[in-house]
Structure 1
Amino acid sequence: MIRRFGETPEPGRKYTRRVGVYALLPRGASLLLTCQTEPGPDLQLPGGGIDAGESPIFALHREVFEETGWSIADPRRVGTFRRFTYMPEYDLWAEKVCLIYRARPVQRKGPPTEPFHEAVWMNTGDAVHMLGNAGDRHFARLHLSGL
């Protein structure tokens, strides 16, 4: 069973399952995060949906680059959670299955290419309280405690 964070699904509402990959990207005492400014602002672990035919690792590299402008190395899966939420950018109620990886941020290649996203370095202790969803906060807390 996959641990659920956030809102309880509403009875009778149809949710579309969306599997995505998200990254804990530590450097020293900080994490590289993304801030989605529209419709937000919402502070998040960088990541997103896996496209049809795409491997989770390829999707992780693509999504982190799109949302932060950084390349990464050595991804290792550390857990999974799910949450039920409305995704306004897709006008969709979704059951998001979030595969969480830890990876090493290697090099900033440029600004984020995903519209309305900004790369943010934040102290991990602060991120534990400021990330926009409970699942992201849970995995940041696990990382802070030595995961």
Structure 2
Amino acid sequence: MDNNLTFGVNDSRLKYQCRESSYAIIIDDNGYVATILTAKGSFLPGGGIEYGETPEECLLRELLEETGFAAEISHNLGKAQRYFVSPSNIPLLNIGNFFTANLTKKVCAPIEDDHELKWVHLSEADHLFFHEHQLWAVKKALSLNLRVKK
């Protein structure tokens, strides 16, 4: 992975658990980005890839679980990774696959009760996300002018 797409510090004294994930960047024409608010902070919609899933399959499943919406993927923005220590003191390496997406149809209530879909104005993005590589992905989508409709 290219060094400029690595965030956080790789502390050689720590043994990192690797977790590959997929995340959606959904930005509307009014300058709002879809976020998932949890007790741990604000995140892009998405999550960990399960055994046998492709990054795209993971993203569609996570969007349904967290928002209750079916979705379609628009663009693959690439990968970025972040070294960090979780709030429960576990060293983690998150490898994020980032995509732009469009929520297409409300299918059900969100499955994850502790996750709230919140549309946040992009002017708040610099101080919003728990993960730095998620902010990188939002800025990349903006630089490519990849906005979608809610």
- Which range, TM-score by smaller chain? 0.7 to 0.9
Q: CA deviation at 1:15?
A: 0.7
* Structure 1 residues without counterparts, runs of 5 or longer: none
Q: CA deviation at 1:87?
A: 3.6
Q: Does 1:96 align with 2:94?
A: yes
Structure-2 residue corresponding to 1:136 = 134
Q: Give 1:82's aligned amino acid.
A: Q
Deviations along 1:13-39, one digit per CA (max 9) or x if unpaired, are 1112111100101222222110112xx
Deviates more, 1:26-35 or 1:96-105: 26-35
Structure-1 residue corresponding to 2:37 = 35
TM-score (norm 2): 0.83
Q: Distance in 2 between matches of 1:4 and 1:20?
A: 15
Structure-1 residue corresponding to 2:17 = 16
1:21/1:56 contact within 8 Å kept? yes
Query: RMSD of the alignment, in Å?
Result: 2.0
2:32/2:120 contact within 8 Å kept? yes
Structure-2 residue corresponding to 1:51 = 50
TM-score (norm 1): 0.84
* CA distance 1:139–1:53, shift in 2 (3 Å): same
1:51-90 superposed matches below 5 A: 51-88=50-87
* Structure 2 residues without counterparts, runs of 5 or longer: none
